[in-house]
Amino acid sequence: MTEGVTTLSAVAPKARPILGRDDWIMRWGLLVLGVWLSVAVVLPLYTLLSKSLEDHGGRFIGLANFAEFFATPVLFHSIYNSLTIAIISTAITITLAFIYAYALTRSCMPGKAIFKGIAMVPILAPSLLPAISLVYLFGNQGMIKGVLMGETIYGPIGIVMGEVFWTFPHALIIIITALSMADARLYEVAESLGTSKLRTFFTVTLPGARYGVISACFVVFTLVITDFGVPKVIGGQYNVLATDVYKQVIGQQNFQMGAVVGMVLLVPAVLAFIADRIIQRKQVALISARAVPYHPKPKTRFDMAMMGFCCVVGFMILGIIAVDAFASFIQLWPYNLTLTLYNYDFDLRDGGGWASYRNSIVMASYTAVIGTVIIFAGAYLVEKIRGFTVIRSLVQFMCIIPLAVPGLVLGLAYIFFFNHPANPLEFVYGTMAILVICTVTHFYTVSHLTATTALKQMDPEFEAVSMSLKVPFYKTFWRVTVPVCVPAILDISIYLFVNAMTTVSAVVFIYSADTTLASVAVLNMDDAGEVASAAAMGMMIVVTSAGVRALHALLTRGIARTSQAWRVR
């Protein structure tokens, strides 16, 4: 029996897929996320842009503000200063971080875990803290001011030192990852060919890690150029773009010019961001082949040298923190060195007192919980939705934008957007909610990428299986996706919590009398000359972040133990 069918495809009916309940829920979910991100990222940035093109009265004046900016040598000079600081800091940070990372990955020195832990300490502190410590160390009454040989710490030297401390762990994490991806076989080949150690370093090690190093450069560069905590405290009269935004907006409430500086600040951040994206795309291709992990062999002299280096760097990091802690207990440096808790009586000082510390804890907790829920669920939707391609790519793009937006710029944009009387969301202005929204948004992208990576590691067919078994996707999300991704979820929440504790740049524009924050209190107390109390509040932040991190480590270990039956590989 033979059946022959001849048809022209034009005749066949076009499929008009009926959307199932899952599809509807996911699409609505994605739309909600899209609206959220529009409100939290896109619209504020748009408002910022339009503000920079308006005069004080709100009339459109084109690029006149920009013309004024570039015609004001004082402001224009800040660009030069910012770039100088960023380039020098990046060079120093990357060099130190590379050697440190090299020691951690390629030597057999003892105490690697401890050194790695020490290197992460700066992440727990707001960027204001190292600057305060540097004042105590190298200021005019500094403990070891002689080291500077008459140079003043107030200015580029202090800014660079503070930035290096603060950005060090960020660079280190990236470079460690890059160096850990090395393929042992390449080293075996090099050795079998009798290649010298130095040549191996330049022909195998550096090229292998180059994308990581470049990526780290961009990260550090962006962090430095957009940070204002360090230059604010120790910059003296050395103006940089970040402090200009602050001065224009907070000091003079010149929002239009603030918006202009914000837009200018956006340029290097966006450029670095785009360059990094391009490079990372290349890196993916590089590591797709499965490599054999490299295991260093003990070499006493090399290991000792590496350990010596790490000791010096580690000592400096801990020293900065220790100085801050010490200063916070001193009655009146340098005239009255009795130990006291007086500086911890925050209620007597500017910045909101102990309430600001409590606010910070509350804000960080909201940010961690709400942020994790939104970001993880959002990443899931973006990753798993079927069809809906235009909206999906749009939302995906919006998830990435925050990485390129400096905190100052975001905070500024929030004032314009949320404090507009015509905005129906105006009621969140001045509340805890806007701080949470802002902080979640500020740190959205890194968390989103963490979630995406975790989701990509899962079998892509779980959802197909669920559909075939008529189980709604959200049940599988809850029963399978979430439990499997618990480590990533914890990582995201801790990342959000610690950053919410330490961030200053975005929230400094939008906190209110009821929602003062610890990190902002550090800034305000320093501004008011209460440096010891600023140091004390800084310590409260460090201790809290460290405590939460320790809790996270315990929790992660606990989960690893209870889930080891199935979490193998």
DSSP type of residue 58: S
Binding characters for other proteins, 406-445, by CB under 8 A (x = yes): -------------x-x----x---xxxx--x---------
Binding characters for other proteins, 43-82, by CB under 8 A (x = yes): -----------------------------xxx--xx--x-
Q: Does 468 bind other proteins (CB under 8 A)?
A: yes
For residues 288 and 336, which CB has a smaller minimum distance to other proteins in the complex? 336
For residue 568, the minimal CB distance to other proteins (Å) is 4
For residues 521 and 541, which CB has a smaller minimum distance to other proteins in the complex? 521
Residue with tokens 């990236």: 174
- In terms of Cα–Cα distance, which of 496, 499, 406 is closest to 127? 499
Instruction: State the CB neighbour count (10 A cutoff) for residue 562.
Output: 9
Name which position in 32, 64, 210, 236 contacts other proteins (CB under 8 A): 236
Q: Does 487 bind other proteins (CB under 8 A)?
A: no
Find how far residue 477's CA is from the centre of its chain. Answer: 27
Q: Which helix (H) or strand (E) holds 531?
A: helix 531-562
> How far, in Å, CA of 562 to CA of 569, rounded?
15
For residues 77 and 112, which CB has a smaller minimum distance to other proteins in the complex? 77
For residue 220, the minimal CB distance to other proteins (Å) is 24
Residues 365-384 that bind other proteins (CB under 8 A): 365-366, 369-370, 373
Q: Does 18 bind other proteins (CB under 8 A)?
A: yes
Residues 262-321 that bind other proteins (CB under 8 A): none
**CB-based burial label for 236 (10 Å; 0-12, 13-18, 19+):** middle
Burial 26-41 (b: 16+ CB within 10 A, else e): bbebbeebbebbebbb
Q: Count of residues binding other proteins (CB under 8 A)?
A: 112
Name which position in 27, 106, 116, 349 contacts other proteins (CB under 8 A): 349
Q: Does 328 bind other proteins (CB under 8 A)?
A: no
CB 439 within 8 A of CB 371: yes
CA geometry: angle 224, 233, 45, nearest 5 deg: 50
Residue-by-residue DSSP string for 342-386: GGG-GGGSTT-HHHHHHHHHHHHHHHHHHHHHHHHHHHHHHHH--
Binding characters for other proteins, 85-124, by CB under 8 A (x = yes): ----------------------------------------
Residues 517-536 that bind other proteins (CB under 8 A): 524, 527-531
Q: Does 560 bind other proteins (CB under 8 A)?
A: no
Name which position in 267, 478, 551, 553 contacts other proteins (CB under 8 A): 478
